[in-house]
Structure 1
């Protein structure tokens, strides 16, 4: 039970981090719109919000109701991945600056960001999402939540990345 309480604190911290992201995203959205930014691909956004909220809720429900235990052999490495995914996410936010958002918003005339983690691959923020999506539940053995989120998130990211790439291509055309 003690490990479940600590796990609940961890999920609460991740939820607080997500709320901080929303504050940054809202500020950046206002900045982008003031400079002629246009939002695209918004049809999938409500599903993304529900899925990510479901991840956090699923972690807690599965651990508490299914009485999932903590296994240090799996839990500690997964915790390290959760922390690494947060670091990668905030690195992305820092490098993109005002251009980072939870929505797809293109501001005309701004160059494509190619520094930081973006010099390594096109969508590093989504790498953070994928890693967090399986690692956070597995910190405390919530394997069902990890599987369901990963499968649903794969479909969502297929749509999301396609929409984002289309928006970026049309901005450069």
Structure 2
């Protein structure tokens, strides 16, 4: 069970650091005329991610009452690679990386790093994480439920982001 708590603590700390970075970037962008688009659905993403951790903890702790925790190294390796991709996304966008849709007028679209190959690599990484994190520990209900919920939210988020970035939807 110790692996679960160590990885869970790492992920939660990582998310807090990312929120700090996002808030700093948001402040920087707003000081330069940045405009937030699609704020009405942002709270749904926050809710989804909070529910994800609650479901994960409940499923893992109830699955392994009195038995040995399952740990899948291959899913852990996928998780590790997703973290490399996550950092690549953040570094590629620099001050423009955010958890919200914030655009700066008259700034060209960044197409470097993973964004050179795919429009929304961070959403792909989050999808992978929402599957592999619970699958690492055999929490398959959470592993299948939350990627689907994530995809449903992306049907709102991606069109909103595409419009904000001036792309055709």
> Is TM-score (shorter-chain normalized) higher than 0.5?
yes
The number of equivalent residue pairs is: 166
Moved over 4 A (4+): 68-72
Higher relative helix content: 1
Supply the distance in 2 between the matched residues of 1:5 and 1:92 (Cα, whole angstroms): 30
Q: Decide which of 47, 54, 57 is 1:57's aligned counterpart.
A: 54
Instruction: Determine the structure 2 residue equivalent to 1:77.
Output: 74
Aligned counterparts, 1:5-154, within 5 A: 5-67=2-64, 70-71=69-70, 75-154=72-151
Normalised to the residue count of structure 2, the TM-score between the two structures is 0.93
Instruction: State the superposition RMSD in angstroms.
Output: 1.6
Supply the distance in 2 between the matched residues of 1:139 and 1:70 (Cα, whole angstroms): 10
Supply the distance in 1 between the matched residues of 2:120 and 2:147 (Cα, whole angstroms): 17
The DSSP-based 3-state class of the residue aligned with 2:105 is coil
- Using a 3 Å threshold, how does the CA distance of structure 1 residues 42 and 168 change in structure 2: closer, same or farther? same
Tell me whether 1:155 sits opposite 2:152 in the alignment.
Answer: yes
Structure 1: where are the runs of 5+ without partners? none
Structure 2: where are the runs of 5+ without partners? none
Query: Alpha-carbon deviation of 1:66?
Result: 2.3
